Structure 1
């Protein structure tokens, strides 16, 4: 477990991400991070957009189901 503190900067509360946290996320300064509330109420911090992942998986299913039609249209 990694511990970090919340501090005030201007009118915002910020959490510092250590180098170790960034490495675990495979993220770097300037990247966008996504926070999702899990079913148990916890927060999950991710370097990938979970909505995009779901959409790409759905698109893959549709493309696989309609492969012949899509090839004919191409």
Structure 2
């Protein structure tokens, strides 16, 4: 487990990603990260993956097209 602190910068709360964290995520300053919420309320940071972004965009398109059906099934 790696510990980091939350601090205030302007009107935002931020965490600092250490060099070790950046290495583990295989990212660098300026890269995009996704924050995924787990069923247990946890958060996961994952590196930007174009195939994931494409899949999410496709899923959003399908959900928009079938909004009424999906709401009826919910």
Fold in common (TM above 0.5):
yes
In the comparison of the two structures, how many residue pairs are matched?
A: 56
Runs of 4 or more, structure 1, over 3 Å off, are: none
Aligned residues: CA RMSD: 2.3
Matched residues in 1 for 2:53 and 2:33: separation? Answer: 13
TM-score of the two chains, using structure 2 as the length reference: 0.66
Q: Which residue of 2 aligns with 1:47?
A: 47
TM-score of the two chains, using structure 1 as the length reference: 0.66
Structure 2 gaps, min length 5: 59-74
Point out the structure with max Rg over C-alpha: 1
Matched residues in 2 for 1:51 and 1:26: separation? Answer: 16
- Residue 40 (structure 1) shift: 1.3
Secondary structure of residue in 2 paired with 1:23: helix
